[in-house]
Structure 1
């Protein structure tokens, strides 16, 4: 029956093939075969776990209106370096304006889903999916916001600041894996961009730490002095 004839060309077969779960989540090795697969997996896994934990810290306090406790848990370095800050924040306990916690709760939830996203990225990197670079871009861009708002002011401790370098390293390794596993797919210009974009945040972090070491204090404190 001509009406029941199955398509013979490859493109048509792909269109009519049933959607497989593996298309949504490749079920191969999490750590892959290349050294860059393994480094990327460790970095994105660690970054994801840290940010899911950050969600728990923020939301467990913000949903209960315990904003002073939440800030003390986040700004560990700031409260260590500025003992007088404890009194300022303690004075606000129970006096925060109504609904002040809502946007913080939203931020906490966003940290949670992006942490889970980060932990899924290695599946796609290991499988060599070309679009895995765009998936890795998501946690990387989120960390830019963290670096600008918290790291530049040096509000958080060393493990939190290290996430800048961890996600950048993971992103660079992911780019390497994707390029190697898809020979001829990316032009030299695209390859430079795929390596260069992750290096921007890593480099910015190095410059910021060097400036802090040479001139002392956070960028905001140096601006006030000037």
Structure 2
């Protein structure tokens, strides 16, 4: 049982890291959008793209869409960060909520940003690996605990 507690705690730490990174990314994205710097917001997300090629006049709607993305990063980061403290205790609902919010957010990132070739390995792809590890570890511990 102590081994399972350690696994829940490892998963929780991974979700804390993931949550903090996404809270920060959401704040920075919206900071740039609110300061009318759409290019900086895009280059912060699609960091493999040459920022010089992104400099142009974007329609206000593009800024609003990216601002919404920043807001989503923020709330998803907050949800997983809060869930992490309950994952630490092995709470089943928190494990599923963190997996759904963080996991699906990173699935979208992987499909459109990583596979699209728009990002470098650090930090985005590493965060996808972190969330995947948190999901696998917490689900393993949860199902192992329930089979005892």
Query: Could you say which TM-score interval applies, normalised by the shorter chain?
Result: 0.7 to 0.9
Alpha-carbon distance, 1:131 to partner: 2.3
| Counterpart position of 1:116 | 78
TM-score by length of 2: 0.85
TM-score by length of 1: 0.58
Secondary structure, counterpart of 2:60 in structure 1:
coil
Correspondence 1:152 to 2:123: no
Correspondence 1:77 to 2:57: no
Secondary structure, counterpart of 1:162 in structure 2:
helix
Counterparts of 2:130 and 2:110 in 1: how far apart (Å)? 12
Specify which of 116, 131, 144 is matched with residue 167 of structure 1.
131
Using a 3 Å threshold, how does the CA distance of structure 1 residues 69 and 132 change in structure 2: closer, same or farther? closer
Whichever structure has more helix as a proportion of its residues is 2
Alpha-carbon distance, 1:64 to partner: 2.1
CA contact under 8 A between 1:128 and 1:181: conserved in structure 2? no
CA contact under 8 A between 2:11 and 2:88: conserved in structure 1? no
| Counterpart position of 2:36 | 65
TM-superposition CA deviations, 1:57-88 (whole Å, max 9, x none): 21011122211122222222222xxxxx61x3
Counterparts of 1:61 and 1:130 in 2: how far apart (Å)? 37
CA contact under 8 A between 2:4 and 2:141: conserved in structure 1? no
CA contact under 8 A between 1:133 and 1:174: conserved in structure 2? yes
Counterparts of 1:100 and 1:125 in 2: how far apart (Å)? 36
Secondary structure, counterpart of 1:78 in structure 2:
coil
What 5-or-longer segments of structure 2 have no aligned partner? none
Query: What RMSD, in angstroms, separates the aligned Cα atoms of the two structures?
Result: 2.0
Using a 3 Å threshold, how does the CA distance of structure 1 residues 69 and 125 change in structure 2: closer, same or farther? closer
What 5-or-longer segments of structure 1 have no aligned partner? 1-31, 80-84, 185-226
Which of these two proteins has the greater Rg computed from alpha carbons?
1
TM-superposition CA deviations, 1:73-129 (whole Å, max 9, x none): 2222222xxxxx61x322x1xx22233211111111111011011112222223232
Correspondence 1:103 to 2:65: yes
Alpha-carbon distance, 1:135 to partner: 1.0
